[in-house]
Every structure is written in C-alpha cells, then in structure tokens.
Amino acid sequence: MLRLEIVTPEKRVLDAEVDSVTVPTASGEAGILQNHAPLVSALKPGVLTYAIKGATDKLAISGGFVEVNSDLVSVLVDSAESPDEIDAAAAKSDMDAAEKALAANGLVAVEDAAESRNAFDHAAARLRIAAGK
C-alpha cells in the first residue's frame, strides 16, 4: 500500500492508504505503485487518479509538485477538487476565458501564453471530473 497525501495551501485534501496513484507530471502521466523509485516532479494542471481497494477516485488539480519516497506520495498543489466540489458552469466560463486568451497568443508575452495554457488545462480537467470522466 501507498500513503497518499494531497495538500493545498488551505487544507489537507486527502491522507489515505491507496493501491496506486496517477499524476499529470510536466513530462506526461506517471503511474505510481508500491515500492516506486524516489521521485520529485513538477505537476501540470490535470486529473489525479487514485485507487483504493479496486475503487477509483479522481481529483482535478492545479499545477504543483509530487514527491515519492518510501511508499509515501506527497502531492502539493494550489487546488484539488472532487466532482462534487466543482461548479461546471464556472469551469466552463474559466475555460472559455482561457481559450480567448490563447487565441490572442501572438499578441501576448510567452509567460502570459503559458499561464493561459495552464488555466485552460485546469478548467478542462475540472470539466472532465464534473462530467464523471
């Protein structure tokens, strides 16, 4: 078993024994099982999935970091939302605003474009979770 801790600046979202965790790292999805090699990685906005006794749960997360060490998976993110916490209309509005900002890519600084991409990815993840996917 793995111990999964998910922490935001406001609260401890989860502290549980899990069978597996999948996180959206900056270089792609990473699956984590018991006895995983030590790891520290940046996280991008997306869907974090974890399994407990065959049941799978998902959270929409913002960017942050993951550390794996001795069967402890620590996830530090700005936000982590379960399906019942997500306002789908607000997520859709956020996604539309980010999409408009991305459309103006040629007119903004590279840093602003990256922020817009992260905002879009986070809103898209929130919509996927709200829809139960």
CATH number of this structure's domain 2-81, picked from the four choices 2.60.15.10, 3.10.310.30, 3.30.590.10, 3.30.1360.120: 2.60.15.10
**What residues are paired with 68 via a beta bridge?**
39, 73
pTM, two decimal places: 0.83
> Chunked in runs of 10, what are the mean pLDDT values of the chain (133 residues)?
96 96 94 94 96 94 94 96 88 84 64 76 87 71
